[in-house]
Amino acid sequence: MKREICKFLIPVLILSVQVVSGQVLDSGYATSLDTADHENFSSPYHTTYTFFYNLNEQDYNPSIAAGALNMAGSEGQNAEALAVMLKQVFDGNGVYVKMNEIPNNPNFSDTVRNGKQIYFFDEIILPSVYLEKVGNRWRFSASTVQNIKSLHKETYPLGTDKLLNLLPKIGSQVYFGLHLWQLVGIFFLILLVFASHKLFTFLVDRGLYYVLIRSGYKRIAKQYLLPVARIVSIYLIVLLLDVFIRVLQLPIYIVSWITLLLNAIKPFIVTIIFYKLVDVFSGYMERMAEKTASTLDDQLVPLVRKTLKAFVIVIGSLFILKYGLRIDIVPFLTGLSIGGLAFALAAQDTIKNFFGSVMIFIDKPFQVGDWITSGEVDGTVEEVGFRSTRVRTFRNSLMYIPNGKIADATVDNHGLRKYRRFYSTITITYDTPPELIEIFVDGLRKIVQQHPKTRKDFYNIYLNNLSSYSLDIMFYVFFEVPSWPEELKAREDLILAAIRLANGLGVRFAFPTQTLHMETFPEKKGFTPVYEEGKASYQKRLDQFIQSEIKGEQPS
């Protein structure tokens, strides 16, 4: 009786009915077509309606639905079984066939594909399933029919009948719009999800963590791998849910939303996994950077981490949009390319600075901690970023220099010096005897030779100038020290040693003076020292000084 009423009401209600995978779901479609003809293949609309209507549970007639298949190239196969499998492919993938979007023109042609008479249902989820016109009939293409079994196996990797046989034979009573066996299947599926969660959590938290701790990777296991492993366990649960939820063959309006949700969750979880794997990779890079002498590698690690994370987020978002939310991203990418060109023109300075930072990391003109000079910049490098480099000046201010300018500028890296030059002039008075000058200069050379941080193969210490008020001794040496504070300490050692040598030999340092010569009185002595010793005496005093320097405080 119910079946009779349904057949009577179909022609009346067809103006407000939408058939979705063989079920009446939506009233947003209106047409004057007589869809009471359930064996019509004259247009994409009629073929789709005929196919799904005759596979409906209430009007099940697979022999008529099989007429929608083009069996060319598939002769000898069971067309009815293939029709049922194809509908299960639609249902299992949650493809919600909207009848109001299917053309009812018998001569429909796809303008995107050079006017071919074909029609695709969902090019993202089922790109190989489409209708084509053969003669006067629209049917599922021969290529689609040949791929039905592979699509069915891909949709139901564990099969359908085998899994359904695992459920108790409890009949097909309907409760809340679902069969009793479907409700029982949902109950068992929930139990499976909870059991899988407990199992994976135990294996990850207890098993993997214990193994990593025993292997000596406690820090990596706790901070990086353990969070990733837990996310992976959630992903495995989602995969199980995705496989088993299809077997229950729930109504399409339920499956479509569940499939949409699962398809969005899967790329989202994968994005989180790769996002956390970036931290694992960064931790490995940090350990490698610690083993190198270059401090620039330490700055490269956070930059690589930020770049990889941004890349993962962008790619993950595209996958979520395409496979999760079923949004065609081709127009988005096209707009993105045009917008990217406009952005590149507007932000060319930022892009220049970015490539400048890339060149800095490739060429390595300086490292963090180096003292550099470039134009008005003079200070110590503190950090190298994507856009700018931070330099701490000797006024203790912080300068931000765009990397694009540094890449184009001349950089004098004082931090890469193997030797640090020290040039000074030692002035002595004109009344110093030549013999004493020779001994003093020789003593200065010995001081340089004995200092542990001076360059021994190249230095210049000579009497080289007669100035207006002094005899000038050039003191030109190099220090082999890594930093400026150590250079200052080495300078102090040499200057103090030179002063002690001058005091020991009786050499006086000159400074700008004016001398008034007066006749010396018998009872008064002049201030000018009298040098009565010979060179041998001066040499003896120099040897005594050198010996005392060796036995006494050594320059550090």
Q: What percentage of the chain has pLDDT greater than the value 70?
A: 70
CATH number of 348-412: 2.30.30.60
For the segment 448-503, what is each residue's pLDDT rounded down to a tens digit?
A: 999 999 999 899 999 999 998 899 999 999 998 877 788 899 999 999 999 999 99
Q: What pLDDT band is residue 36 in, cutting at 50, 70 and 90? A: low
CATH class of 420-513+527-551: alpha beta
Q: Mean of the per-residue pLDDT values for the chain?
A: 76
Q: What pLDDT band is residue 14 in, cutting at 50, 70 and 90? A: very low
For the segment 74-132, what is each residue's pLDDT rounded down to a tens digit?
A: 888 899 889 988 988 888 777 878 888 889 889 998 887 788 889 988 887 788 899 99
Query: The sheet that has 398-402: what strands, in order across it?
Result: 398-402, 388-393, 377-384, 371-374, 412-413
Domain boundaries, the chain: 2-155, 174-333, 348-412, 420-513+527-551
Place of tokens 């209507």: 53
- DSSP, residue by residue, 185-253: HHHHHHHHHHHHHHHHHIIIIIIIHHHHHHTT-HHHIIIIIHHHHHHHHHHHHHHHHHHHHHHT---HH
Is the pTM higher than 0.85? The answer reads no
For the segment 243-279, what is each residue's pLDDT rounded down to a tens digit?
A: 777 766 666 667 677 777 887 888 888 888 888 888 7
For strands 420-428 and 398-402, give the pairing. Answer: unpaired
Round to whole Å and give the CA distance between 274 and 201: 20
In three-state secondary structure terms, 471 is: strand
User: What is the structure's pLDDT at 438?
Assistant: 92
Q: Is pLDDT above 60 for 235?
A: yes
For the segment 173-211, what is each residue's pLDDT rounded down to a tens digit?
A: 565 566 666 666 777 777 777 777 777 767 766 666 677
Comparison of pLDDT for 390 and 8, the residue scoring more: 390
Q: Is pLDDT above 80 for 521?
A: no
User: What is the structure's pLDDT at 489?
Assistant: 92
Q: Is pLDDT above 70 for 341?
A: no
For residue 441, how many other CB atoms are within 10 A of its CB? Answer: 17
Q: What pLDDT band is residue 371 in, cutting at 50, 70 and 90? A: confident
Burial 257-280 (b: 16+ CB within 10 A, else e): ebbeebbbbbbbbbbbbbbbbbbe
Q: What pLDDT band is residue 3 in, cutting at 50, 70 and 90? A: very low
Round to whole Å and give the CA distance between 488 and 479: 10
